[in-house]
Amino acid sequence: MTRPFIIGFGGTTRAGSSSEKLVRAVLTACENEGAQTRLFDGAFLARLPHYAPEKPERTVEQREFVEAVRQCNGLVIGTPAYHGGISGLVKNALDLLEDLRGDPRVYFDDCPVGLVVSAAGWQGTGITLSALRDMVHAMRGWPTPIGISVNTLAGPLFDASGAITEPQLDATIAGQASQIMRFTSAFRGPQVLKGAA
């Protein structure tokens, strides 16, 4: 069996984006369990044009992103809480994945999806994670039972080198990665759900 291909996308354009670091950490934990990974970070997502349903033209980067999702066996999506929901940057990337609607594997069918939220307050953590989980359900994905949400005001999460300083958070990241990897081995290969909306 080939190594599972797990892609991550998300983060913000801010230098030192915490949501991006967390997505990267989950991908690294997946690599430790044998995955190949690719990260589409905040800077990459910022280069994707605003999705417009009536425009079929695609930039090189839009094609690259859609093709990676088409090929992947699992995903990690990370967003900040912006005004009680996911950021426009991440939503724009999700909307572009409408290009997968007509595929043999529609959207995120058969894919485990690890979800990561970074907020500056407790209220934003829960509601944004829940909103993102609903979006992934709408796109036929399988959010892992372990979601990651952090309140950046509750204390420092990273040291100067970017390493995670919270042992509990480290364990949660490893747990999410493990669930992604276990799910990919159970569901490898595209299977289309007949009759599903």
Ligand X SMILES: Cc1cc2nc3c(=O)[nH]c(=O)nc-3n(C[C@H](O)[C@H](O)[C@H](O)COP(=O)(O)O)c2cc1C
Q: Which chain residues interact with ligand X by CB under 6 A?
A: 11-12, 14, 17-20, 80-84, 118-121, 124, 152
Give whichever of 34 and 84 is closer to ligand X, judged by the CB atom: 84
Shortest distance in whole angstroms from residue 188 CB to ligand X? 31
Give whichever of 84 and 162 is closer to ligand X, judged by the CB atom: 84
Closest CA to 144 of 98, 108, 170: 108
Shortest distance in whole angstroms from residue 47 CB to ligand X? 17
Shortest distance in whole angstroms from residue 112 CB to ligand X? 22
Give whichever of 7 and 129 is closer to ligand X, judged by the CB atom: 129
Give whichever of 149 and 179 is closer to ligand X, judged by the CB atom: 149
Longest CA span, the chain: 51
Helix, strand, or coil here: 103?
A: coil
Give whichever of 118 and 176 is closer to ligand X, judged by the CB atom: 118
The count of other CB atoms within 10 Å of the CB of residue 140 is 18
Enter the DSSP assignment of 90.
H
Closest CA to 135 of 151, 118, 113, 120: 113
Shortest distance in whole angstroms from residue 92 CB to ligand X? 15
Q: Which residue has the tokens 């990370």?
A: 78
The residue number with the shortest CB distance to ligand X is 124
Shortest distance in whole angstroms from residue 79 CB to ligand X? 8
Q: What are the E-state strand segments in the chain?
A: 5-10, 36-40, 74-80, 112-119, 142-143, 148-151
3-state helix, strand, coil in the chain (%, to 5): 40, 20, 40
Shortest distance in whole angstroms from residue 152 CB to ligand X? 4
Which of left, alpha, beta for 2 (phi over 0: left; psi -120 to 50: alpha)? beta
Give whichever of 19 and 184 is closer to ligand X, judged by the CB atom: 19
